[in-house]
Amino acid sequence: MNALAQPTLAEGAEPAADAKPARKVKKVKCVVWDLDNTLWDGVLLEHDAVRLRPGIEDVIKTLDARGILHSIASRNDPVLALTKLREFGLVDYFLHPQIGWNPKSESVKEIAKRLNIGIDTLAFVDDQPFEREEVAFALPDVMVLDAADASDFDTMPAMTPKYVTEDAGQRRLLYLGDIRRDDAERDFTGTSEAFLATLGMTFTMARAKAADLQRAEELTVRTNQLNSTGYTYSLDELRAFAHSPNHLLFIASLDDKFGTYGKIGLALVECGSQRWTLKLLLMSCRVMSRGVGTLLLNHIMRLAKAAGAAFQAEFVTTDRNRMMYVTYKFGGFREVATHDRHILFEHDLAAIPLAPTYITLVVDDGLSAK
């Protein structure tokens, strides 16, 4: 069979590592709220005594607990608006709020940029038809919602994840940690590498265990940019891979002095006696600037070399994963086969980069890499 073919999973069989190309159902990752007559009743600049709309706080906290982020796009005075949110005890729920006089569509784009998530994973909420139409016209991939329906948001399929993993439950806190890191980097006077050395990063790679599998499934669905193939796998398939003698399923996490980034990387390797094939490699875009993007890949390459196996990696071109293609090319991989959007890379394993000295590696894979 051609190395780039995509077989389907037979009933009762061990799952093929390339069983399912991208079959992603879009979920909302961030809800962007207007303020006046949306989050609260009244217009703040006309009357300071605005009140939260009934049920809004419960909706915000329910979605937050599911791992759905919140932000703000409002034409308002930023000092007054943030003061009022602080009075309501909600200011920490809104990441990168855009409060000023720009078009709402520009604010929504800026929020997506700062969160580093796809524009098509945002929902925009406003009471004004004009504002909703402006965003819908400028950003047709954004889900546009009427503030009158806010009490039903927590019942929408797009805002109801299949699982609420540990990482999802603390997602807002993880992003707040990223904001503190970014603030520290802006205040740092020195090179980027010198700043990274101050973080005290620990990168952990381990064989995925039962407790990791829901997060592993979530990563295949949510991660688009640093994703080699876009394959998604069900919980049952991932469980089978974790127990398969012919596969390695790795999950990676990152911690530093500001706290944890959570579980941010996943790799699936098909291990033949003569050749290992990397079927899926992904890394959260949240760690893109931390110099850890290739650590998991390089570790797997060392394992393949120690096993005396040739090493290949599959790649499927999407509209978002150009950076992963560049990662392979700069990492010494060469293209040995192409078909449609599918590329098969190969590496001779002659030179495998070591981890930067400012990162501590912790490996729990049950194998010995030389």
pTM over 0.85: no
Distance of CA 216 to the CA centre of its chain: 12
Residue 86 burial (C-beta neighbours within 10 Å; 0-12, 13-18, 19+): exposed
Domain membership of residue 117 (yes or no) is: yes
Task: Specify if 49 maps to a domain.
Answer: yes
| Tokens 């997506």 sit on residue | 112
pLDDT of residue 223: 83
Examine the domain organization and report whether 262 and 144 are in the same domain: no
> Residue 225's pLDDT is what?
83
The predicted model gives 53-64 an average pLDDT of 97
Same domain, yes or no, for 60 and 103?
yes
Q: In terms of domains, do 334 and 262 share one?
A: yes
Q: Residue 256 falls within a domain, yes or no?
A: yes
One domain for residues 314 and 244: yes
Q: What is the percentage of the chain residues whose pLDDT exceeds 90?
A: 78
Count of domains forming the chain: 2
pLDDT at residue 63 tops 50? yes
- In which band, very low, low, confident or very high, does the pLDDT at 1 lie, cut at 50, 70 and 90? very low
Residues 272 and 232 in one domain: yes
Whether residue 139 is found in the same domain as residue 204: no
The answer, yes or no, to whether residue 8 has pLDDT greater than 60, is no
- Sign, Cα dihedral of 292, 298, 299, 300: positive
Q: What is the CATH number of the domain that holds 79?
A: 3.40.50.1000
Q: What confidence category does residue 23 fall into, taking pLDDT thresholds of 50, 70 and 90? A: very low
Mean pLDDT for 251-259 is 95
Q: What is the pLDDT of residues 76-117, one digit of tens each?
A: 999 999 999 999 999 999 999 999 999 999 999 999 999 989
Cα-based torsion angle of the residue sequence 177, 181, 186, 190 in order, rounded to the nearest 10 degrees: 180
Give the pLDDT confidence of 112-140 residue by residue, as tens digits: 999 989 999 999 999 999 999 999 999 99
Q: Quick one: average pLDDT of 323-338?
A: 93
Confidence of residue 222 (pLDDT cuts 50, 70, 90): confident
Q: What mean pLDDT is reported for the chain? A: 90
* Predicted pLDDT of residue 25: 53
- List of residues 6+ apart from 349 with CB closer than 8 A: 301, 304, 305, 310, 311
183 domain-assigned: no
175 domain-assigned: no
In a domain, 87, yes or no: yes
Same domain, 232 and 350: yes
236 and 316 housed in the same domain: yes
331 and 294 in contact (C-beta within 8 Å)?
yes
Go through 261-287 and write b for each residue having 16 or more CB atoms within 10 A of its CB, e for each that does not. Answer: bbbbbbbbbbbeeeebbbbbbbbbbbb
Check whether residue 137 and residue 198 sit in a common domain.
Answer: no
Task: Say if residues 145 and 124 touch (Cβ distance below 8 Å).
Answer: yes
Q: Say what the pLDDT of residue 320 is.
A: 85
Least confident of 3-17, 74-88, 154-168, 182-196: 3-17
One domain, residues 80 and 132:
yes
Inside any domain, residue 212: yes
The residue range of the domain holding 106 is 30-159
The amino acid occupying position 267 is: A
Inter-residue contact 220 to 280 (CB < 8 Å): yes
Per-residue model confidence (pLDDT) at position 7: 32
104 in any annotated domain: yes
Specify whether 196 is located in the same domain as 338.
yes
Q: Are residues 151 and 99 in the same domain?
A: yes
